[in-house]
Amino acid sequence: MGQTTSLPAASQAGSPLQLCLNNVFASSTGSVAYPQSVFYQLADVHIYNQAYPITPAAVTKPATSQDISKIVQCASASGVKVQPRSGGHSYANYGIGGEDNAVVVDMVNFQQFSMDNSTWQATIGGGTLLADVTTRLHDAGGRAIAHGTCPQVGIGGHATIGGLGPLSRQWGAALDHVVEVEVVLANGTVTRASSSQNQDVFFAIKGAAASFGIVTEFVVLTHPEPTSVVRYSYTLQLGKHADLAPTFAAWQKLVSDPSLDRKLATEVVVFELGMIISGTYFGTLEEYKALNFEQQLGKNATVSAVVLDDFLGAVANWAETEALKLVGGISGSFYSKSLTFGASTLIPTTGINNLFSYFDTADKGTLIWFAIFDLEGGAINDVAQNATAYAHRDALFYLQTYAVDIVGGLSDKTSAFVTGMNDIITASMPGVDFGAYAGYVDPQLKNGPQEYWGTNLPRLQQIKKEIDPTDLFHNPQSVSPAA
């Protein structure tokens, strides 16, 4: 491990923090690990994005809400920041603090699950991964919620940032399903929050929870699983990316139709070898064909549309996209950015053409890169902008750009390529306030909180001042207390 004398005071053996945490876990079935452990980084820290190496002061794995309360109090007494980790998929490792010397609260032991068969509301532990959420809801009566496509993501972060996925156009974001939470606050209080109790806390949790507390469990509304699912793909592998620009323009025109069937989920993935337009239709094959969706995209493509046997099979299929197979569950070095587009801020033809030409001419520094356009809209847009902390209620689709180096470190050239994708588009749309999705953490943003939470930020800052005035729950882009 090397000399621990270079570690901050709180991370030193015998520090007040370590003595306090040791006392907590002396009577707990949970566990705690420190930088002095030989296998600390590998076995306990689990850095997801290797481009941002971090050494936390401690990694705790509490067993109960009371454990978390005591951990929070230990950290507060030692002047150390705290961040919860559910699945550990933060793009800048914010789940382990985002910077050195934070206390990590790993929620892996919070796996409780129950279903109320009268209300069909489910109680889900804050450490549950999305793959397990899907399976447990299915087994409890063929129920489902809207969530993302990566099975290794944890619900604790997902359902408190937004939680966007194929069913969101019908049912809303994952956080729109949340009707109540149990949360540990900065003063160590274990409390409940909902639309009828601790409303300010509930508002903040639904979009910005990492700045306000640690959610130990969610109570969520559920829906009957879709009974008919069509998975389709439209693959183009041409000589130049520039040749694909008209097809993307056709896709953008199609998805901007306000009458587009909400049962249609669709995304565009541009990568080194071409472009794939794929998605899910939650209906029959006959209904999907009646949309004439593929026919309106043009020709020269390999088209497939298959009916999947069951909903669990559909969810498993989502994780098989080219991007997720490479970055979904693999630790590596990567950089990602995002942009938000609304019905009134579509990419102009010049921006589309310049972007697709850039894919051909840019010096990327890697062969593993993606530009992913995900359709949102629908039920997500039905919720008022100020109803929850989630700020992008007018989003029609997001652009998420990735560049990955699984073997080595991320080069400046590759990071510049990712930034360039955004720059090309923004240059074609002067004066547009795009905003960014907090789930696609971008540590290079000049004002991350403003980009993530927009017009909701002032209210969040005021709530922060009231319930976490010392900024205990902190990462480099978290909400700060109001001045």
Q: How far apart are CA 172 and CA 165, in angstroms?
A: 9
**69 and 12, same structural domain?**
yes
| The domain boundary residue, chosen from 426, 442, 458 | 442
Check which CATH number belongs to the domain holding 128 and give it: 3.30.465.10
Please tell me the predicted confidence (pLDDT) of residue 2: 39
**157 and 138, same structural domain?**
yes
| The domain boundary residue, chosen from 193, 209, 225 | 225
**127 and 88, same structural domain?**
no
Q: Are 441 and 433 in contact (CB under 8 A)?
A: no
Check which CATH number belongs to the domain holding 438 and give it: 3.40.462.20
CA distances from 76 to 103, 141, 186, 363, 468 (A): 10, 43, 8, 47, 11
**170 and 22, same structural domain?**
no
Stated length of the chain: 483
**202 and 253, same structural domain?**
no
Please tell me the predicted confidence (pLDDT) of residue 324: 54
In a domain, 461, yes or no: no
In a domain, 8, yes or no: yes
Token pair belonging to 456: 């909701």
In a domain, 452, yes or no: no
Per-residue pLDDT of the chain (483 residues; tens, 9 = 90+): 334 557 888 899 999 999 999 999 999 999 999 999 999 999 999 999 999 999 999 999 999 999 999 999 999 999 999 999 999 999 999 999 999 999 999 999 999 999 999 999 999 999 999 999 999 999 999 999 999 988 999 999 999 999 999 999 999 999 999 999 999 999 999 999 999 999 999 999 999 999 999 999 999 999 999 999 999 999 887 789 999 999 999 999 999 999 999 999 999 999 998 999 999 999 999 999 999 998 888 777 778 888 877 777 777 776 666 555 555 556 678 999 999 999 999 999 999 999 999 999 999 999 889 999 999 999 999 999 999 999 999 999 999 998 988 667 789 999 999 999 999 999 999 999 999 999 999 999 999 999 999 999 999 999 999 999 999 999 999 999 999
**166 and 139, same structural domain?**
yes
**221 and 233, same structural domain?**
no
| Virtual torsion, Cα 434, 436, 437, 438, nearest 10 deg | -150
In a domain, 204, yes or no: yes
**69 and 150, same structural domain?**
no
**363 and 234, same structural domain?**
yes
In a domain, 84, yes or no: yes
In a domain, 394, yes or no: yes
| The domain boundary residue, chosen from 225, 251, 278 | 225
Total number of domains in the chain: 3
Angle at the Cα of 424 (from 409 to 274), degrees rounded to 5?
Answer: 70
Q: Are 127 and 104 in contact (CB under 8 A)?
A: no
Q: How far apart are CA 336 and CA 404, in angstroms?
A: 9
**191 and 160, same structural domain?**
yes
Please tell me the predicted confidence (pLDDT) of residue 323: 56
Token pair belonging to 55: 């050494």
**274 and 192, same structural domain?**
no
Please tell me the predicted confidence (pLDDT) of residue 438: 96
The secondary structure of the chain, three-state, reads CCCHHHCCHHHCCCCHHHHHHHHHHHCCCCEEECCCCCCHHHHHHCCCECCCCCCCCEEEECCCHHHHHHHHHHHHHHCCCEEEECCCCCCCCHHHCCCCCCEEEECCCCCCEEEECCCCEEEEECCCEHHHHHHHHHHCCCEECCCCCCCCCEHHHHHHHCCCCCCHHHHCCHHHHEEEEEEECCCCCEEEEECCCCHHHHHHHHHHHHHCCEEEEEEEECEECCCCEEEEEEEECCCCHHHHHHHHHHHHHHHCCCCCCCCEEEEEEEECCEEEEEEEECCCHHHHHHCCCCHHHCCCCEEEEEEECCHHHHHHHHCCCHHHHHHCCCCEEEEEEEEEEECCCCCCHHHHHHHHHHHHHCCCCCCCEEEEEEECCCHHHHCCCCCCCCCCCCEEEEEEEEEEECCCCCCHHHHHHHHHHHHHHHHCCCCCCCCCCCCCCCCCCCCHHHHHHHHHHHHHHHHHHHHCCCCCECCCCCCCCCC
Count the neighbouring beta carbons within 10 Å of the beta carbon of residue 285: 15
Max CA distance (Å), the chain: 69
DSSP 8-49: -GGGSTT-HHHHHHHHHHHT-SSEEE-TTSTTIIIIII--SB
In a domain, 483, yes or no: no
Please tell me the predicted confidence (pLDDT) of residue 320: 63
Please tell me the predicted confidence (pLDDT) of residue 329: 57
In a domain, 417, yes or no: yes
Check which CATH number belongs to the domain holding 11 and give it: 3.30.43.10
Question: Could you list the residue range(s) of the whole structural domain that residue 395 is in?
Answer: 229-442
Query: What's the half-sphere exposure (Cβ side, CA atoms, 13 Å) at 118?
Result: 0
- CA end-to-end span of the chain, whole Å? 41
**319 and 220, same structural domain?**
no
Query: What's the half-sphere exposure (Cβ side, CA atoms, 13 Å) at 87?
Result: 26
pTM (2 d.p.): 0.95
Sheet containing strand 333-342, strands side by side: 302-308, 229-236, 274-281, 264-271, 369-375, 395-405, 333-342
Q: Are 98 and 54 in contact (CB under 8 A)?
A: yes
